[in-house]
Amino acid sequence: MAVDNRDIKILVIDDERQVLDHICDLLEMQGFDVYEASSGEQGMELFERERPTIILTDINIPGISGIEILKRVKKASPTTQVIVFSGMGTTDDIIRALRLGASDYIMKPFNLGLLIHNVNRCIERHELIMERIGRQKTLEKIVRERTAALSASFYETVKALGLLTEKRDPYTAGHQDRVALLAMAIGRKLGLMEKELEIIQVAALLHDIGKVAVPVELLAKPSNLTDLEAQLIKSHPQAGFDIIKDIPFVESLGKDVSIIVLQHHERLDGSGYPNGIKDGDLELETKILSVSDVVEAMSSHRPYRAAIDISTTKAEIADGSKILYAPECVDACLQVIEENDNDIIRLFDLSAKVGRNNS
């Protein structure tokens, strides 16, 4: 790659006027954009202002030493090439400078041809570094874009799966989405991290997918269910687990969402279904989802009953605290409801706004 030396800034730092002028004149004759400083402080000021590609500095200069300049420059700009020189340096000085990141160490009086050779070598090294950084940034951008595309595709797929149930049962349209929003609001109250909230969101959006295995007439039945019909309804968590268990959620979210879907009707005291497991075996996400699911279901109209008022809904989960539902999840849910003036419409509207802002 052809390089225009005028694009290369070089800073020379030396307190010997004759040496400083000699080096700067030589570099200017090569077409470089040259800056000079006769002290460490002046050199650092020029470095901060001009950000040169290469710095040539004597070790023994007034104020900030050449070694200190080397340390500060490499910390602030690791790609900047630094050539250190000295008229009375020791082997220890050379080793120390190179360990600190110096590109070269030259002894005075130096061969001018060698100096120019070292400068050109530093330019080549700098170009290779910048080219590598450029490739890395390009790769990172591609990875970010593809990750974003995969993430968008993942969530569209999750939403599409969730809609399968709602298409069969118009009475529960929006149920999974509202459960997700409330569950995430509860999770935030409990101080969960965004990654944990993401797990709750996906689990909530899919928690009733197993209802695709339930006869549609049972989902919309306006009267009480028989024992057999109730058992068919209660099979939906297991069906949901079977449907999504082979989707690699652990790879994308870090947790198996199908377990949360399987457990979402389980209760602390073991009275839930399908497996009657108790508190110690329940995932935290399950406990949050259970409370959110109950609140949304009670607050919504169903074929067999009208929507239940918010006071009764709050009393239901409060009475079940420590028995059916995790008390910390109940308390957080009650806080979210009360912060929205006990208004279910406002609750889900505000939860939706928070959800959108954090998605």
pLDDT value, residue 357: 44
Taking only the tens place, the pLDDT of each residue in 140-196 is: 777 777 756 666 666 777 777 777 777 666 666 788 889 999 999 999 999 999 989
Query: What is d(CA 66, CA 64) in angstroms, rounded to the nearest whole number?
Result: 7
> Which residues in the chain show pLDDT less than 50?
1-2, 351-359
Do 186 and 332 meet the contact criterion of CB atoms below 8 Å apart? yes
Nearest CA to 3 out of 25, 26, 31, 24 is that of 31
Supply the CATH classification number for the domain 5-138.
3.40.50.2300
Tokens representing residue 297 in the block: 């279901």
CATH 3.40.50.2300 in the chain: give the residue spans: 5-138
Taking only the tens place, the pLDDT of each residue in 299-333 is: 888 777 788 899 999 999 999 999 999 999 999 99
Query: How, if at all, do strands 81-86 and 9-13 pair?
Result: unpaired
Percent of the chain, pLDDT > 70? 90
3-state secondary structure string across the chain:
CCCCHHHCEEEEECCCHHHHHHHHHHHHHCCCEEEEECCHHHHHHHHHHHCCCEEEEECCCCCCCHHHHHHHHHHHCCCCEEEEEECCCCHHHHHHHHHCCCCEEEECCCCHHHHHHHHHHHHHHHHHHHHHHHHHHHHHHHHHHHHHHHHHHHHHHHHHHHHHHHHHCHHHCCHHHHHHHHHHHHHHHCCCCHHHHHHHHHHHHHCCHHHHHCCHHHHCCCCCCCHHHHHHHCCHHHHHHHHHCCCCHHHHHCCCHHHHHHHCCCCCCCCCCCCCCCHHHCCHHHHHHHHHHHHHHHHCCECCECCCCHHHHHHHHHHCECCCECHHHHHHHHHHHHHCCCCHHHHHHHHHHHHHHHC
pLDDT value, residue 57: 94
CATH superfamily, domain at 169-358: Hypothetical protein af1432 (1.10.3210.10)
Tokens representing residue 320 in the block: 């079940």
CATH 1.10.3210.10 in the chain: give the residue spans: 169-358
